[in-house]
Amino acid sequence: MRKFLPAIVLLTTLAVSCKKDKNYSKAVVIDSGDVTNNGCGWLLRMDDGKYEKPVYVPSAFQHNNLKVKVKMHSSGILDTCRSIPPYDFYEQVIIDDIKNDLN
């Protein structure tokens, strides 16, 4: 039985580590420019190419092109960017948790 203990521990660790990110989505943090100068501020470009506008991005993650894993939910609010046409519309999301994507 002792021979199999390291293999069991390894498999258990792998199973737990795979499940811990199951509610996270991969995204890239994008700096679209200052909101006072026709930008949209910080956006998240999701893996499927869709853009989301977080209500707030923690300062530790305010880096252009930073790959992250994010857990978020919709605020139910559609936000517009730019003060002149063409307007950009993004759904505002609330970040529940965010972490670096080291993969």
Tell me the pLDDT band of 13, cut-offs 50, 70 and 90.
Answer: low
Task: Give pLDDT, residue 9.
Answer: 56
Q: What is the mean pLDDT of the chain?
A: 83
Cα(32)–Cα(81) distance, integer angstroms: 10
The candidate with the shortest Cα–Cα distance to 70, out of 59, 50, 54, 82, is 54
Task: Give pLDDT, residue 31.
Answer: 93
Of the two residues 92 and 34, the one the predictor is more confident about is 92
Query: Which fold does the domain 23-100 belong to in CATH?
Result: OB fold (Dihydrolipoamide Acetyltransferase, E2P) (2.40.50)
